[in-house]
Structure 1
Amino acid sequence: MSKKKVQTLNELLEELLVLEDQQPYDIPENWVYVRLGKVVEFQGGSQPPKSVFKDEQLDGYIRLIQIRDFKSDKFKTYIPKELAKRTFEENDVMIGRYGPPVFQILRGLSGAYNVALMKATPVKCLMDNDYLYYLLQVPFIQSPVIKESHRTAGQTGIRKELIEGFVIGLPPLNEQKRIAKKVERLLSKIEEAKQLIEEAKETFEVRRAAILDKAFRGELTKKWRQQNLSVDSAAQRLEMIKKERFQIAETKREVSEIIEMFDELNIVECINNNDWLYIKANMFCYNINCGGTPSKDISEEGEIPFLKVYNIVNNKVDFSYKPQYIPKEVHKSKLKKSMLRPNDVIMNIVGPPLKKIAIIPEEYSEMNMNQAIVRFRPIKYVLPKYLYYCLQYDETLRDVINKTRGVVGQSNISVSQSRNLVMPIPSIEEQAEIVSKLEEMIKREEIVLSLVSDEKNLDELKQSILSKAFRGELGTNDPSEESAIELLKEVLQEQVK
């Protein structure tokens, strides 16, 4: 039997190095190009049978880490140690092979791992473990892997061969350690900035809620009321609203419901110290209805824009996102009761989350909506923008939302509950003053919030730092250090002895 030929140092080095025409970007002179799989070993996990799983650690058992556990932050699966074919320690770098999101880079746990994870172990003396951890997060490695996962239908996992084939610049070992420390320091500052942004957002929401509270308790317009005593009284307002509401009723059933609502109203209890009325939404709106879903008639092109809950973004209509349409014939027949026009106020009644509220903008003369949305169209004595802000006020929906808590699955508000929402109705002049003050104060808060860098910019900065780091552009490289190619020679020399 012939002996296996022992390769020379130069032959091994030639196999390891990347040809010049395959080198993707410039690197410092003391770096060298290699393929990732030549300096890192990637090892997939194994899948023990679920029949051996335990939800508590027993003698002779080891924790099994599964990619799905990272979503819930619960790692409570244990298997017999003899079935733990693949294990890792806290500092080991792990790759999540499944998604979403795909290609998660993880570390900080120990135990066995299943087929959804892959362990990345750097070749000793060639690559630093911390350097590897950050290297796997760079855009020029992440993006192609994620792109392939989106393109490959029915894929069972990230291909190990793809990752092993990536061409990278390999610095000297000491430079790797300097890069890893600097990247860690810079990324920690980005995480701190993100935390500050989240705190700023939370503060903004608290301050916004406080502004709405002052508005709908009458505090913002207290001085205005003292200076405008000639506006209509609450009693006069009630009669005008009542008369108008009966005039717009469309069916006998609706008239009967209106009569019942006004008959049940206690005139003394429904007027507060500000001379505001407190009445149900269906008493000062056209009949409140939800939409429907004519699935056969919905298409990506058509005549009438058809709104879904995902089209309500930041309390505004965003029809540019996944737009759908219905024919005008359906709009005027099957979905006649849910026709929308400019200045109608809409609210989602299926969540979570609830309290997504918007005003139909002037640019759409006609729209319609599905069954997860209700329409509030106020009569002439209530301003649409006043109603829009009043629905955002915590107290308006507090009791209804509290009833949905603790219910498994979706949290829903019924059309009946929407009709029975009680809201304060001051004079239309005071409503206009409230809206004016609210918009001025909220705009001021939004300007302050906008001065804080958003998370998208920080994520872009993170990607920029990672890209620069692994191209040798962070200013940490020492040209006088021994070249990385000498490291390769030292390691390969052991193989030819």
Structure 2
Amino acid sequence: MAFKTIKKLGDKSILSITSGGTPSRRNLEYYKGNILWLKSGELNDSQHINNSEEKISEKALKNSSAKIFPKNTVLFAMYGATAGKLGILDVPAATNQAVAGMVCNEKVLHYKYLFYSLLNIREKIVDKAWGGAQPNLSQTIIKNFEIPLPPLSIQKKIVERIERLMGKIDEAKKLRKEAMADAAALIPSALHKIFEEGKKKGWEEKSLGEICDIARGGSPRPIKNYLTEAEDGINWIKIADATNSTKYIYKTKEKINKEGMKKTRIVKPGDLILTNSMSFGRPYIMKTTGAIHDGWLLLRPRKNILEEYMYYFLSSDEIYNQFSFLAGGAVVQNLNSELVKGVKILIPPFSDQQKIVKYLDSLFEKIGKVRAMQEQTNKELKELEKSVLRGVFVL
């Protein structure tokens, strides 16, 4: 839909654009009020902003450049990783200087029409950002962008049309999310059934310390002195090299040198490693040789235990609950090797272990396919959202 009237965002006849401010952090009383005070990192394209991480006082407002924006103000993040993110105030609120507040002249510009207009040109605006890894925008850059401006009655019809189409897309997203959750629940559900059957069959129960050699990794410090890009470097395995959806670790982003190898622990393909701090209790199987830092534990089964069976057992809710209980009580929860040695595990006959692994591997593969399909669908839905906006806002 093409429109004859085009206006710059800096045209004061249609809206005003100003940014907020930050009260002095030295005065703690400034941050004990009840006035909402939003930072750019809190914007996530929500059209219903009614709360904030921090709140400021009236005195803070008077003694800083912060100001209160009225309900229905459209917010635009100008700095940092969230540059370009939008929001609409459901209630009056203040912001810091990294947020531009856009107050519409209600006689000529509908706030939701402005929101969708900005959503449509967001990528173009952010492309004009300056700075390094963290993009920065200025009010001047934003004000130079143009939007089509049809009569107010047409704006409202456009908003209704967009929201009708976006509502269908949101419903599709919800269904995809539910399908992902159902798929993710397959393995835990299957494990629970397997272990309940195992108890009925009288499978032997032993502690991990009885069936595994368990040792903590080591961290050469300071690590920057041991990192290398040389061909003879060894893979330096960090938590970031693994994700919740993977079973194996094939490669790493960094390597350490020979001196570093003397101060760490080497792991080999087939070894099982377990996170022991922060996101503790997550197992992975090595598909490469590498070195682990002290945030990992190495679990090496002695005999008649499949690593893959151990992986699935350690991934179960039952075992995670044991880990949580053992690690409880600290602000930062950790699992040391002695605690892990005491965790109980069911040991089926070796032939049953093979059958269990084969069955769970097939489930894992199916889940992977569902996840890949859902990720592709999500990309398509995001593109569909963009196409909806492009189809409406044609200059």
**TM-score interval for Structure 1 and Structure 2 normalised by the shorter chain:** 0.7 to 0.9
Query: Does structure 1 retain, via aligned residues, the 8 Å contact 2:30–2:60?
Result: no
2:316 maps to: 393
How far residue 359 of structure 1 moved from its aligned partner, in angstroms, is 1.2
Q: Tell me whether 1:283 sits opposite 2:213 in the alignment.
A: no
Query: Does structure 2 retain, via aligned residues, the 8 Å contact 1:292–1:369?
Result: yes
Separation of aligned partners in 2, 1:201 and 1:396: 23
Q: 1:464 to 1:376 in 2, by over 3 A?
A: farther
1:12 maps to: none
Q: Hey, which of these two has a bigger chunk of strand by percent?
A: 2
- SS of the equivalent of 1:118 reads strand
Separation of aligned partners in 1, 2:77 and 2:159: 21
Query: Does structure 1 retain, via aligned residues, the 8 Å contact 2:235–2:251?
Result: no
Cα RMSD between the aligned structures? 3.2
1:258 maps to: none
Q: 1:37 to 1:149 in 2, by over 3 A?
A: same
Separation of aligned partners in 2, 1:73 and 1:214: 44
Percent identity of the aligned residues?
23
Structure 1 runs not aligned, ≥5 long: 1-26, 58-62, 220-271, 473-497
Query: Does structure 2 retain, via aligned residues, the 8 Å contact 1:397–1:421?
Result: no
Q: Tell me whether 1:216 sits opposite 2:191 in the alignment.
A: no
How far residue 450 of structure 1 moved from its aligned partner, in angstroms, is 5.3
- SS of the equivalent of 2:112 reads helix
Structure 2 runs not aligned, ≥5 long: 44-50
Q: Which amino acid aligns with 1:121?
A: V
- SS of the equivalent of 2:228 reads coil
Matched length: 376
Deviations 1:132-170 (A, max 9, x none): 0111222x43354267255277x8x63101111124444
Deviations 1:328-370 (A, max 9, x none): 4543x333xx21211111121121x333322112xx3x22222
Separation of aligned partners in 2, 1:280 and 1:376: 12
- SS of the equivalent of 1:339 reads strand
Q: Tell me whether 1:379 sits opposite 2:302 in the alignment.
A: yes
How far residue 308 of structure 1 moved from its aligned partner, in angstroms, is 0.3
Q: Which amino acid aligns with 1:298?
A: L
1:308 to 238, 259, 263: 238
Q: 1:458 to 1:293 in 2, by over 3 A?
A: farther
How far residue 305 of structure 1 moved from its aligned partner, in angstroms, is 1.3
1:368 maps to: 291
Q: Tell me whether 1:434 sits opposite 2:356 in the alignment.
A: yes
Q: 1:368 to 1:89 in 2, by over 3 A?
A: same
1:65 maps to: 37
- SS of the equivalent of 1:43 reads strand
Residues 21-170 of structure 1 mapped to structure 2, 5 A cutoff: 28=2, 30-38=3-11, 39-49=14-24, 51=27, 53=30, 55-57=32-34, 63-67=35-39, 70=42, 73-74=52-53, 76-80=55-59, 83=62, 86-107=67-88, 108-123=90-105, 125-138=107-120, 140-145=121-126, 148=129, 151=132, 158-170=137-149
How far residue 452 of structure 1 moved from its aligned partner, in angstroms, is 4.5
Deviations 1:401-439 (A, max 9, x none): 13435632x322112222332211122111101111222
Query: Does structure 2 retain, via aligned residues, the 8 Å contact 1:33–1:170?
Result: yes
1:419 maps to: 341
Query: Does structure 2 retain, via aligned residues, the 8 Å contact 1:293–1:371?
Result: no
Q: 1:343 to 1:287 in 2, by over 3 A?
A: same
2:163 maps to: 184
Structure number with higher relative contact order (C-alpha < 8 Å, ≥ 6 residues apart): 1
Separation of aligned partners in 1, 2:133 and 2:366: 48
How far residue 381 of structure 1 moved from its aligned partner, in angstroms, is 0.9
- SS of the equivalent of 2:101 reads strand
Q: Tell me whether 1:349 sits opposite 2:267 in the alignment.
A: no
Q: Tell me whether 1:469 sits opposite 2:392 in the alignment.
A: yes
1:325 maps to: 255
Separation of aligned partners in 1, 2:114 and 2:272: 53
| TM-score, with structure 1 as normaliser | 0.67
Q: 1:444 to 1:128 in 2, by over 3 A?
A: same
How far residue 284 of structure 1 moved from its aligned partner, in angstroms, is 2.0
Separation of aligned partners in 2, 1:171 and 1:77: 39
Query: Does structure 2 retain, via aligned residues, the 8 Å contact 1:97–1:116?
Result: yes
Query: Does structure 1 retain, via aligned residues, the 8 Å contact 2:275–2:282?
Result: yes
Query: Does structure 1 retain, via aligned residues, the 8 Å contact 2:128–2:141?
Result: no
Q: 1:467 to 1:73 in 2, by over 3 A?
A: same
Q: 1:217 to 1:415 in 2, by over 3 A?
A: same
- SS of the equivalent of 2:206 reads strand
Q: 1:85 to 1:386 in 2, by over 3 A?
A: closer
Q: Which amino acid aligns with 1:218?
A: E
How far residue 36 of structure 1 moved from its aligned partner, in angstroms, is 2.4
Separation of aligned partners in 2, 1:440 and 1:423: 23
Q: 1:151 to 1:167 in 2, by over 3 A?
A: farther
Q: 1:456 to 1:147 in 2, by over 3 A?
A: farther
| TM-score, with structure 2 as normaliser | 0.82
Query: Does structure 1 retain, via aligned residues, the 8 Å contact 2:61–2:67?
Result: no
Separation of aligned partners in 2, 1:132 and 1:396: 51
Separation of aligned partners in 2, 1:405 and 1:460: 44
